[in-house]
């Protein structure tokens, strides 16, 4: 299984695209501005999108992508998300004011997009070209949100994505039960902005350290940092680098922590 990083920034700037991952060419996990780097053929090949939550940086390209390739598709694009996320999309995006209601265009019987409710703890089987098993994981954010654990339907280890989250012990309880190949976890703000991170329910390096200390003894896998704010990325990664090299004795020294970069491909 291959996970192509289309966007992994917490905001836009030159060479900074917001959250989106393309898995095996047919599944999008979130649909931030990074989707805009796909060709029309690549966008047309996507049959399913799973969303972590309704915030703009995670859904911005979805209406534009549907518009770009709808005429090239023979069946609706399937969008899977928490019910609250779908309700937000239908009320505030696909509402015939901000964007057309593609769930009823060109007809209710044959729309350009179909929405499918999911719930935390649910297991999905998605992927037309390369079937995948997806588990919906809990997240703690300012709107209803989730993360995902994805693996090949034939078995093997998981790619785990935290989504946008703050402290989340239930997430770690489940992750520690999984065979994890790679963890992608957000750290949106530096320690200097720790109060803002707490209010907006994001992680900073200090709270990331507390979270990573939940990794069960004996578990070892690369940890990629995503969703850094462009203006603070160097500061955030410097602070995390201090954690990884033992500047704090909180159980995270020596972990394999890396900065996730757009255009990277993670092979699971």
- Domain ranges (residues) in the chain: 2-267
What residues have CB less than 8 Å from 96, skipping those under 6 apart? none
Report the C-alpha dihedral over residues 155, 161, 167, 171, rounded to 10 degrees.
-20
- Which residue's structure tokens are 């029309």? 40
Write out pLDDT tens, residues 5-58. Answer: 999 999 999 999 999 999 999 999 999 999 999 999 999 999 999 999 999 999
Predicted structure pTM score? 0.95
Instruction: Supply the CATH classification number for the domain 2-267.
Output: 3.60.15.10
- Give me the helix-helix angle, 205-212 and 233-244, nearest 10°: 40
Write out pLDDT tens, residues 180-220. Answer: 999 999 999 999 999 999 999 999 999 999 999 999 999 99
Write out pLDDT tens, residues 74-93. Answer: 999 999 999 999 999 999 99
Task: Give, for 44, the enclosing helix (H) or strand (E).
Answer: helix 40-44
C-alpha to C-alpha distance for 15 and 262, rounded to whole angstroms:
8
Residue 248 has pLDDT above 70, yes or no: no
pLDDT-derived band of residue 106, with 50, 70 and 90 as boundaries? very high
């Amino acid at each position: 299984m291959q996970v192509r990083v289309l966007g992994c920034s917490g905001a836009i700037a030159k060479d900074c695209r917001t959250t989106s991952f393309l898995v095996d060419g047919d599944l999008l996990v979130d649909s931030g501005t990074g989707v805009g780097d796909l060709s029309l053929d690549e966008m047309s090949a996507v049959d399913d999108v799973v969303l972590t939550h309704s915030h703009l940086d995670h859904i911005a390209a979805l209406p534009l992508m549907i518009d770009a390739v709808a005429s090239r598709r023979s069946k609706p694009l399937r969008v899977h998300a928490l019910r609250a996320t779908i309700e937000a999309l239908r009320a505030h995006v696909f509402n015939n004011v901000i964007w057309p209601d593609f769930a009823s265009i060109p007809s209710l019987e044959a729309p350009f997009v179909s929405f499918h409710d999911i719930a935390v703890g649910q297991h999905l089987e998605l992927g037309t070209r390369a079937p995948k098993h997806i588990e919906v994981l809990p997240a703690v954010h300012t709107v209803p949100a989730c993360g995902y654990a994805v693996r090949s339907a034939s078995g093997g280890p998981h790619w785990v994505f935290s989504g946008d989250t703050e402290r989340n012990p239930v997430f770690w309880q489940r992750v520690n039960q999984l065979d994890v190949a790679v963890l992608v976890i957000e750290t949106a703000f530096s320690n200097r902005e720790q109060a803002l991170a707490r209010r907006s329910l994001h992680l900073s390096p200090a709270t990331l350290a507390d979270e990573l200390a939940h990794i069960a003894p004996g578990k070892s896998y690369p940890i990629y940092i995503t969703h850094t704010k462009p203006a603070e990325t160097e500061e955030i990664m410097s602070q995390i680098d201090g954690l990884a090299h033992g500047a704090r004795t909180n159980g995270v020294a020596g972990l394999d922590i890396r900065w996730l970069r757009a255009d990277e491909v993670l092979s699971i």
